[in-house]
Amino acid sequence: MNDAARQRGFYRSAWRWHFYAGLLVMPFLLVLALTGAVYLFHDEIEDAVHAPLRFAPQRRADLPLSRLLDAARAAYPGEVTRIDLPADPRRTAQVFVTPTRGEPLRVFVDPGSARVHGAFVYTRTLVGFADTMHGSLLLGRFGDALVETAACWALLLVATGAYLWWPRGRGWRAALWPDWRARGRGFWRSLHASVGAWTAALIVFLILTGLPWAGVWGELLRAGLQPLGLGYPAEHRHHAAAAPRVGQAVGDAPWTLRDAPLPASHAHHGAGHGAGHDASRGAAADIGIDAAVRTLAAHGLRGDYRLSLPHGADGVYTAVVYPDRPQGQRTVHVDRYSGAVAGDTGFADYGLGAKAVELGVQLHMGRYFGRANQIVMLLPCLGIVALSVSGAWMWWKRRPRGRLGAPPAPAPARLRTVAAIALACAIAFPLLGASLLLVAALDRWVIARVPRWAAFLH
C-alpha cells in the first residue's frame, strides 16, 4: 500500500471513530457541560434563589456552636453530622441534619442569634441537582462509571477531531474561522471545526482535571501517587490499615485526603481528671463541640471551615478549611475525649502530584482566580454545547432515511494495530481501553457479519 492510500485509510478511520465517539458521548457531554456551567456559578445562583436562608443580619459576636446545633435539632429533629461556618458575618451557618425519616437536610442558622432561617434538601435545588448530575447522572456508582467513560471517549473525540481539522493545504484562517458566506451543511461544518479549534485545549483541561474525582481513574491515580510519595502525607500511614478513610467520615474532604486513614479518638486519654472524664460512670466522655472549637481556635482556625462531628466511639472532630486557592487548605482532627489534636495537614504537606491535582480541581471549578476563572471555564462548556448541536445537525442532514449513516469503514485494520491502540488507551484510561476494544470487536466481528445491522449503520 502506497503512502497516499495509507493516509486515506487513516483519515477514514479517524472520521469513523470521530463519528462513533460523538454519537456515544454527545448526550453525556451536553449534560456535563450544562450542569458544569450551572455549578461554576453555584454561589451566585444560591444567593439569588435562597437569599432568605443564606443571609442574616450582620453580627458582632457568634454564639457557641452547641446553641446552633440545638436550634437546628429543635426545628428539624435528627442527627447532626456537620456544620459549615461562614467567614462573612452577613451569612448564616449551615447545619447538616439527617432526619429520622426523609432525605438529609441543610439547615440555615444565624450564628449571632441561633434563629433558624429554614432548610432545604440539597439535591432538590438547582445547584444540588446540577452537582449530582455532573458527577453520577443520579445513578450512583454506575452513573459515575458512565460519566468517566464518556469523559475518556471525549478525549478520543478531541484527538480524532484535531486530526480531521488539520488544514492540509488550506489556509489557517479558513481553519480557525467559520465561513459566514457558506450555506447549509458547509456552514455548520466550518462552525463546528472552528469552535473545536478554539476550545479543544480547554475541553481537554476540563476532562483531565475532572477525572481525578472519577471512581476508577481517580482511585488508580491516588493509589499510584502513594508509593511514589506524591499523594497524602506520610504521617497518615501509621494509622491502622483497617481505619476508616477520611472521605468516608468527612463530607467534601479534599481530594488528596479522601483515601487517607482517619485518626481515631482514644477513650483512655480522658481516663484521668478533667473535662474528658465522666467520674460518675468511670468512662471517658465527649468533650463537646464547643471545646473542640476552642482547640481549633488555639491552632489558628477561627471560622470559615467545615466541622464534621465524630461518628462512632473512636470518631474525631474534623475541621476542613477549603478556600478558593488550594494553598490555604488545612484539615485538623481533634480527639473527642482528650481534646488533643490528632492530626493537622496542610497543603504544604501534600505530595507534588496531590498539589497538582488540587490546583487543577480549583481551576476546574472556576474558583482559583475569581470571576475571570469562571468565565474561562464557561467557554469550553459553551463550546461543547455548540459542537454537540452542530455535530448533531450535520449528522441529521446527511444521514440516509431510516439509517444511521456512519462513515464507511476502511480496509480492516490489522488486529495487532487495534490491540496496540486499545492497550495504550487502557494503560492511561482503563474504561476507555475496555470500551474501545468492545466497540471495535462489535464493529468488526458482529455488526459486519449481520447484513441487516451493517445496512442500518451505513
Axis crossing angle, helix 3-40 with helix 42-49, rounded to the nearest 10: 30
pLDDT at residue 223 greater than cutoff 80: yes
Nearest Cα to 150, choosing from 33, 28, 14?
28
Kindly report, residue by residue over 371-385, the tens digit of the pLDDT. 999 999 999 999 999
Gyration radius (Cα) of the chain, Å: 27
| Domains recognised in the chain with CATH numbers | 3-39+135-211+375-457 (no CATH), 51-124 (3.10.450), 232-350 (no CATH)
- Greatest Cα pair distance, the chain, in angstroms, is 92
Residue 378 burial (CB count, 10 A): 17
* DSSP string for residues in 248-316: HHSTT--GGGTTSBPP---GGGGSSSSTTEETTTTEE----HHHHHHHHHHTT--SS-EEEPP-STT-E
Residue 285 burial by Cβ neighbours in a 10 Å radius (0-12, 13-18, 19+): middle
pLDDT at residue 271 greater than cutoff 50: no
Tell me the range of 29-38, 281-290, 392-401, 445-454 where mean pLDDT is highest.
29-38
From the centroid of its chain, how far is CA 48? 24
Residue bearing cell 435545588: 125
- In the chain, the amino acid numbered 454 is A
* ∠ Cα 435 360 326 (to 5°): 140
Helix (H, G, I), strand (E, B) or coil at 412: coil
Helix (H, G, I), strand (E, B) or coil at 80: strand
Q: Are 373 and 379 in contact (CB under 8 A)?
A: no
> CB neighbours of 109 closer than 8 A, spacing ≥ 6?
68, 71, 72, 92, 93, 94, 95, 115, 116, 117
Residue 273 burial by Cβ neighbours in a 10 Å radius (0-12, 13-18, 19+): exposed
Kindly report, residue by residue over 161-207, the tens digit of the pLDDT. 998 898 877 778 888 898 888 888 889 999 999 999 999 999 999 99
Which residue(s) pair with 344 in the sheet? 332
Q: How far is CA 165 from CA 1, 153, 401, in A?
A: 25, 18, 27
Q: What is the DSSP letter of 245?
A: B
- Average pLDDT over the chain, rounded to an integer: 87
Kindly report, residue by residue over 36-74, the tens digit of the pLDDT. 999 999 999 999 999 999 999 988 789 999 999 999 999
Q: Which three cell numbers stand for residue 323?
A: 478556600
Tell me the range of 18-22, 68-72, 391-395 where mean pLDDT is highest.
68-72
pLDDT at residue 109 greater than cutoff 60: yes
Kindly report, residue by residue over 205-214, the tens digit of the pLDDT. 999 999 999 9
pLDDT at residue 416 greater than cutoff 80: no
As a whole number of angstroms, the distance between CA 253 and CA 238 comes to 20
Kindly report, residue by residue over 123-146, the tens digit of the pLDDT. 999 999 999 999 999 999 999 999
As a whole number of angstroms, the distance between CA 22 and CA 150 comes to 10
Q: Are 194 and 231 in contact (CB under 8 A)?
A: no
Which residue(s) pair with 95 in the sheet? 83, 107
Nearest Cα to 198, choosing from 154, 236, 161?
161
Helix (H, G, I), strand (E, B) or coil at 49: helix
